[in-house]
């Protein structure tokens, strides 16, 4: 599949969340993909994180939207440096019968094969890495940040820095597997300044994370179409080119 095929939408985080919600509410009738790149920076809180007055004020001062998503997990700094890929699975699809570890492992392998094909060195995570990351997150008081620890199915650099984060939204009419790839570095200090009023925690987050541009030595804008094409090529036949 050549670089001319670009099923990519560039838009806001609220617009992406609305599209995901609309499809899940209407019902997922066939496997589909949503490739989304954010057109502006925004701080995204997990569904269990309720922004307080301080966070709201700091976000307003920085002129950044502060949004809650429908999936769980910690805070994320989304922006043009991130590619969001959502895989929609019908409730009667064989994948929908798998537990969360199995279905995330399926998606993890697609991401590993995709990034490796694009010369982005990476690997999956195991239980020991997950356990260790949670200890580090606790010790460094970073549990509030989504990219501070690892979970099943996520993808890291060879030295263990997070590259792809995953989340799941499971509804009666379908499943959405949401993944976020850092194409290029983001400003972890600004995220920390807004969420916990401590920009210095950004240094710790920067050490725990990586991005496709830094790992490959290729500019993010050059990598992006190749990553999308490689991802589509590695999906099962019933997913082929069925983009939202």
pLDDT at 2 over 50: no
Our CA angle for 151, 153, 155, nearest 5°, is: 90
Q: pLDDT tens across 179-197, in order? A: 999 999 999 999 999 999 9
Q: Going from the N-terminus, what domains does the chain have, and what CATH number goes with each?
A: 8-231 (3.30.930.10)
- Average pLDDT estimate for 61-88: 89
pLDDT attached to residue 74: 85
pLDDT at 230 over 70: yes
In whole angstroms, what is the distance from residue 214 CA to residue 81 CA?
A: 12
Q: Please state, rounded to an integer, the average pLDDT across all residues of the chain.
A: 91
pLDDT attached to residue 5: 43
Our CA angle for 157, 231, 89, nearest 5°, is: 110
pLDDT attached to residue 3: 38
Strands 66-68 and 42-45: parallel
Looking at per-residue pLDDT, the higher value among 73 and 224 belongs to: 224
Q: pLDDT tens across 88-142, in order? A: 999 999 999 999 999 999 999 999 999 999 999 999 999 999 999 999 999 999 9
pLDDT attached to residue 238: 81
pTM of the model: 0.90
Question: Which range (43-47, 126-130, 133-137, 203-207) has the least confidence?
Answer: 43-47
């Amino acid at each position: 599949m050549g670089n001319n095929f670009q099923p990519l939408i560039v838009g806001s985080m609220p617009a992406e969340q609305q599209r995901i919600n609309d499809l899940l509410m209407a019902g997922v009738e066939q496997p589909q993909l949503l490739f989304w790149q954010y057109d502006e920076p925004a701080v995204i809180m997990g569904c269990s994180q309720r922004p307080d007055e301080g966070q709201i004020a700091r976000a307003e001062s920085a002129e950044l939207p502060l949004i809650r998503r429908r999936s769980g997990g910690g805070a994320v700094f989304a922006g043009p440096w991130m590619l969001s890929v959502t895989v929609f699975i019908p409730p009667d699809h064989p994948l929908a019968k798998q537990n969360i570890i199995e279905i995330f492992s399926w998606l993890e392998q697609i991401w590993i094969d995709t990034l490796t094909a694009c010369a982005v060195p990476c690997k999956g995570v195991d239980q020991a890495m997950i356990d260790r990351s949670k200890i580090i997150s606790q010790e460094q008081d970073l549990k509030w940040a989504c990219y501070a620890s690892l979970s099943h199915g996520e993808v890291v650099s060879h030295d263990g820095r997070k590259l792809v984060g995953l989340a799941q939204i499971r509804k009666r009419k379908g499943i959405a597997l949401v993944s976020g790839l850092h194409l290029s570095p983001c400003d972890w200090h600004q995220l920390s300044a807004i969420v916990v009023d401590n920009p210095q925690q950004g240094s710790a987050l920067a050490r725990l994370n990586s991005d496709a541009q830094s790992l490959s030595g290729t500019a993010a804008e050059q990598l992006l179409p190749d990553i999308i094409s490689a991802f589509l090529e590695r999906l099962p036949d019933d997913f082929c080119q069925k983009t939202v």
